[in-house]
């Protein structure tokens, strides 16, 4: 499925089940996401994590709502299945979507301005460097006997200086390689958006509406 | 009003990734807090105590970059980073990211992107708390809590958002100001 439409579908369904109280639909979404994840060769370890963690947090929330609130059993069931459904749908999306393809699709199909698409990509490619930089900053401080925690302003100060430096350099590098903001571009890789994608989007949404409003528990 | 240029876009993204990497270390803390609070039925408190940390990218990006949308974008990109780093909450964090970012953004919007001081950050902390709390009422079923407990949750959430998004952000920007790297 086209990544932009896939994202739209996911966000729309997640928003909708946040405000509706039909646990059977949540369970149906969980089952469908599970099938899609198995189909997409998501590893067993990942599936186990995607199940255990929301089950733990969901159970804790349900327990808390029971002790400190006035929730009915139906409400508790809705909240629990909702949390698992979120995680499963999110897991399906994150595990079966390539960030590069998603960004290309957002640029070509969803008309995201190319400066955003390429700006995000440029920064995301620095990920390993960014991780190394945090470790370096912490180690450098340790050498002076200073321990930097996540609540230390100095840590963020140094990180922001590095971010400013790198963004200047990357932006200059892109400009010097001929990147012009808002100029028309051609694409090395075209992301197809075909009728089948639209049918899947609309079909899934219709199915969810039927499930939500036909009077299921 | 300032527009987005490629440098700002890269800056806000790198900033979001940095925050994502730094915050990665508190995930075990969150699980531990939940495990401690859960038996007493206080699980949401774990969430409230740490919420200020998750929402900090918004006010920080808004304060440093000073372009409309910076807070929202900073927070949303933080969520994207978390999603692709292998965060369990996956795409659900995208919606939370927008909600949290928009909450912070309202604070900057209220001062029309002209004033960057204590008042702005306090306002931003307040709007973040209000918006995210409304979201929790619906999504996490907070609506079913007794009023007293709900007020406690709200107070803890505001305190957390204020400490991280307000006080810590102000301390960081003070340092940046002294280094003359913030544009006025």
Question: What is chain A's pLDDT, residue by residue, as a tens digit (217 residues)?
Answer: 999 999 999 999 999 999 999 999 999 999 999 999 999 998 999 899 889 988 998 999 999 999 998 889 999 999 999 999 999 999 899 888 888 999 999 999 999 999 999 999 999 999 899 999 999 999 999 999 999 999 999 999 999 999 999 999 999 999 999 999 988 889 989 999 999 999 999 999 999 999 999 888 8
pLDDT at B90 over 70: no
**Per the CB < 8 Å rule, is B5 touching A171?**
yes
User: According to the model, what pLDDT value does residue B184 have?
Assistant: 61
Which chain A residues are within 8 Å of B67, Cβ to Cβ?
none
Interface of B with A in 121-160 (CB under 8 A): 138-141, 144-146, 149
- In eight-state DSSP terms, residue A188 is S
What residues have CB less than 8 Å from B154, skipping those under 6 apart?
B129, B133
**Per the CB < 8 Å rule, is B145 touching A171?**
no
pLDDT tens-digit profile of B93-124?
A: 889 999 999 999 999 999 988 889 999 999 99
Percent of chain B having pLDDT more than 70?
97
Whether B21 contacts A128, CB under 8 Å: no
Q: How close B73 gets to chain A, by Cα (Å)? A: 11
Given CB atoms, is B77 within the 8 Å cutoff of chain A? yes
Q: How close A85 gets to chain B, by Cα (Å)? A: 10
User: According to the model, what pLDDT value does residue A180 have?
Assistant: 92
Query: B9 to chain A: nearest residue by CA?
Result: A119
- Name the residue with tokens 């069931």: A77
User: According to the model, what pLDDT value does residue B81 have?
Assistant: 83
- Mean of the per-residue pLDDT values of chain B: 90
**Per the CB < 8 Å rule, is A99 touching B84?**
yes
| Domain range list for chain B | 6-178
Three-state SS string over chain B comes to CCCCCHHHHHHHHHHHHHHHHHHHHHHHHHHHHHHHHHHHCCHHHHHHHHHHHHCCHHHHHHHHHCCCCHHHHHHHHHHHHHHHHCCCCCCHHHHHHHHHHHHHHHHHHHCCCCCCCHHHHHHHHHHHHHHHHHHHHHHCCHHHECHHHHHHHHHHHHHHHHHHHHHHHHHHHHHHHHCCCCCC
Q: Could you tell me which of B166, B117, B144 has the C-alpha nearest to residue B44?
A: B144
Percent of chain B having pLDDT more than 90?
64
pLDDT at B6 over 70: yes
**Per the CB < 8 Å rule, is A167 touching B10?**
yes
What residues have CB less than 8 Å from B157, skipping those under 6 apart?
B48, B51, B52, B129, B132, B133
User: According to the model, what pLDDT value does residue B145 have?
Assistant: 92
Given CB atoms, is B177 within the 8 Å cutoff of chain A? no
pLDDT at B88 over 80: no
* Whole-number Å distance between alpha carbons of A151 and A140: 17
Given CB atoms, is B24 within the 8 Å cutoff of chain A? no
Q: How far is CA B37 from the centre of its chain?
A: 23
pLDDT at B28 over 90: no
Tokens of B26: 């508190």
Q: Which phi and psi (to 5°) does residue B145 adopt?
A: -75, 155
Which chain B residues are within 8 Å of A64, Cβ to Cβ?
38, 41-44
User: According to the model, what pLDDT value does residue A85 have?
Assistant: 93
Which chain A residues are within 8 Å of B162, Cβ to Cβ?
none
Q: Could you tell me which of B139, B44, B33 has the C-alpha nearest to residue B95?
A: B139
Q: Please, which pLDDT band fits residue B1 given cuts at 50, 70 and 90?
A: low
Given CB atoms, is B9 within the 8 Å cutoff of chain A? yes
């Amino acid at each position: 499925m086209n990544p932009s439409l896939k994202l739209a579908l996911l966000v729309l369904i997640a928003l909708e089940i946040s405000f509706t109280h039909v646990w059977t639909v949540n369970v149906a979404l969980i089952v469908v996401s599970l099938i899609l994840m198995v189909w997409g060769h998501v590893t067993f370890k990942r599936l186990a994590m995607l199940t255990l963690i929301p089950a733990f947090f969901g159970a804790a929330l349900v327990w808390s709502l029971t002790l400190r609130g006035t929730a009915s059993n139906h409400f508790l069931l809705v909240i629990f299945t909702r949390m698992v459904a979120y995680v499963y749908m999110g897991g399906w999306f994150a595990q079966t979507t390539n960030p590069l393809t998603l960004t290309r699709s957002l640029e070509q199909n969803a008309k995201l301005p190319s400066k955003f698409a390429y700006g995000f990509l440029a920064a995301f490619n620095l990920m390993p460097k960014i991780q190394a930089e945090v470790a370096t900053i912490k180690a450098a401080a340790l050498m002076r006997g200073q321990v930097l925690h996540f609540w230390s302003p100095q840590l963020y100060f140094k990180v922001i200086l590095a971010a400013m430096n790198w963004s200047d350099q990357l932006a200059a590098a892109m400009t010097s390689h001929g990147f012009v903001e808002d100029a028309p571009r051609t694409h090395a890789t075209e992301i197809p958006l075909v009728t089948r994608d639209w049918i899947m989007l609309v079909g899934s949404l219709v199915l969810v509406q039927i499930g939500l409003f036909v009077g299921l528990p | 009003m300032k527009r987005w240029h490629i440098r700002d876009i890269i800056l806000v993204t790198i900033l979001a990734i940095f925050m994502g990497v730094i915050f990665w270390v508190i995930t075990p803390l969150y699980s531990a807090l939940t495990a401690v609070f859960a038996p007493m039925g206080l699980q949401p408190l774990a969430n409230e105590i740490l919420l200020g940390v998750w929402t900090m990218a918004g006010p920080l990006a808004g304060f440093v970059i000073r372009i409309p949308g910076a807070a929202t974008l900073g927070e949303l990109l933080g969520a994207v980073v978390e999603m692709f780093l292998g965060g369990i909450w996956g795409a659900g964090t995208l919606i939370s990211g927008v909600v949290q970012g928009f909450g912070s953004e309202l604070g900057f919007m209220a001062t029309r992107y002209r004033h960057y001081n204590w008042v702005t950050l306090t306002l931003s902390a307040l709007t973040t708390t209000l918006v995210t709390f409304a979201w929790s009422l619906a999504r996490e079923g907070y609506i079913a809590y007794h009023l007293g407990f709900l007020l406690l949750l709200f107070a803890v959430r505001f305190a957390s958002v204020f400490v991280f998004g307000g006080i810590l952000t102000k301390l960081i920007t003070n340092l940046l100001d002294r280094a003359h790297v913030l544009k006025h």
